[in-house]
Structure 1
Amino acid sequence: MPSPLGDKIRALRKQKKLSLEQLAELTESSKSYIWELENKDDPKPSADKIGKIASVLEVTTEFLLTESTASPGEEVIDEAFFRKYKSMPDDTKKRLRKILDAWDDDE
């Protein structure tokens, strides 16, 4: 029976439409390693690997490692948004802020 960690990795990988091979390549892992994480009862990934997987899947390591099997909540989705936002060019950030301001004015 897969672990909560394995269930989360599989669900997030499929949500992002990534194959085992693609996730393995993006995390500098082997396909068999990712398969083991998704399918073994008690996988023991290294901190480095879990960090790379979390980054690619755009969730926190804490989310992956908690026992909860719930899908990512609003907090995790917000974190992913802000991570993307921080890496955007300044002009894109400015346009987004204008959109949000206009949206706020409509309420």
Structure 2
Amino acid sequence: MIVLTLFSLIVRYWIVAIAAGAILAVFAISPRSEETGIYVMLVVSMAALTLATWQQRSMVRALASVENQVSGLHTEVDRFLDAMEKRTRVLDSTQIEIARV
């Protein structure tokens, strides 16, 4: 489940970045003048940096979510192990009582 969540986030944002880059590249390939080409390339660079920043932020949020899920699982496992230990103690004491009788 956790791996699928991370994979879907990575795929979703890379597709957006590639699509935006392709659309902006069309404008960069056929500029009307040299100055327009420079401005278009500047916009392409800024868009790429913005998309990379958004992707990084979303990945940090996703990793924090995964960390919380793992922490919650760790807590649940600890509770389960404590309950099993208590049951084992009860069974051991019951067996000792039966052996005495």
TM-score by length of 2: 0.26
- Pick 1 or 2: higher relative contact order, CA cutoff 8 A, min separation 6: 2
TM-score by length of 1: 0.25
- Point out the structure with max Rg over C-alpha: 2
Indicate the structure with greater helix content.
2
